[in-house]
Amino acid sequence: MKTKKLASVPTIKRLPLYLQIVENAHKEGKEFISGTIIAEELELEPIQVRKDLAITGIVGRPRIGFPVAQLITCIHEFLLWDKEHSAIVVGAGSLGSALMGYDELKKRGMRIQAAFDSDPAKIGRTINGVPVFAMNDIAQEASRLGSELAILTVPPDVAQTVAEQLTSAGIYAIWNFTNTKLKLDEDIVVQREDLSSGYAMLSVRMKLRLNQT
């Protein structure tokens, strides 16, 4: 088995930015795009773009740049966005509903099969085309659907309990939108999505901006 050098976290997080630009170039009918152009668009250094793209296995042509169609494929494959990921949304509040209607995710291979909520008014209905089940049926339904991933948008006080139910039902990855640090088996992938850290950055930069004068 080949031991590939792992990509760094910052690199992985930049790949979707590159992908978007390359897809735009593709729509415009361009066959090649240079790292220099991508870098300008995102206000990054060209060398950083080249280094990042290299991780996907793409090979560019000096003087010409990278083949657009192939680059899209390489990024997709690297991120596993060429395969479907089955997912359920747990907590069909406003954030959960927003995610169910988020086309970007669907385009990137995420298939949201079902949602779960404890509000009787929501159970049995569909939101953005996704059927809503009772929270109590999670274990049963998630097993039946064979879902890989759970998008967790429940209130923080039930997050830990619900997460444990999910793992029992065979879910091995959780996209955690609650601000609860989940304590689960090590082999469960938990990705925390933290709005407050973005808000912290924003606030500090606003403070700096105000102090400039």
List of residues contacting DNA (CB under 7 A) = 8-11, 34-37, 44-48, 50-51, 53-54, 58-66
193's contact among DNA, a second copy, none, with CB below 5 to 8 A by partner kind, is: a second copy
Cβ distance to DNA smaller for residue 47 or 200:
47
Instruction: Give the nearest distance from C-beta 174 to a second copy in angstroms.
Output: 9
Instruction: Give the nearest distance from C-beta 35 to DNA in angstroms.
Output: 4
Rounded to whole angstroms, the Cα distance separating 196 from 202 reads: 10
Please name every residue paired with 88 in a beta bridge, in sequence order, or none if there are none: 114, 150
Rounded to whole angstroms, the Cα distance separating 25 from 200 reads: 34
Cβ distance to a second copy smaller for residue 40 or 137:
40
Rounded to whole angstroms, the Cα distance separating 161 from 210 reads: 43
Instruction: Give the nearest distance from C-beta 88 to a second copy in angstroms.
Output: 14
With contact defined as beta carbons under 8 Å apart, do 173 and 150 qualify? yes
Q: Is 202 helix (H, G, I), strand (E, B) or coil?
A: helix
Q: What sign for the dihedral angle of Cα 16, 18, 24, 29?
A: negative
202's contact among DNA, a second copy, none, with CB below 5 to 8 A by partner kind, is: a second copy
Instruction: Give the nearest distance from C-beta 61 to a second copy in angstroms.
Output: 26
Rounded to whole angstroms, the Cα distance separating 189 from 169 reads: 15
Cβ distance to DNA smaller for residue 70 or 160:
70
93's contact among DNA, a second copy, none, with CB below 5 to 8 A by partner kind, is: a second copy
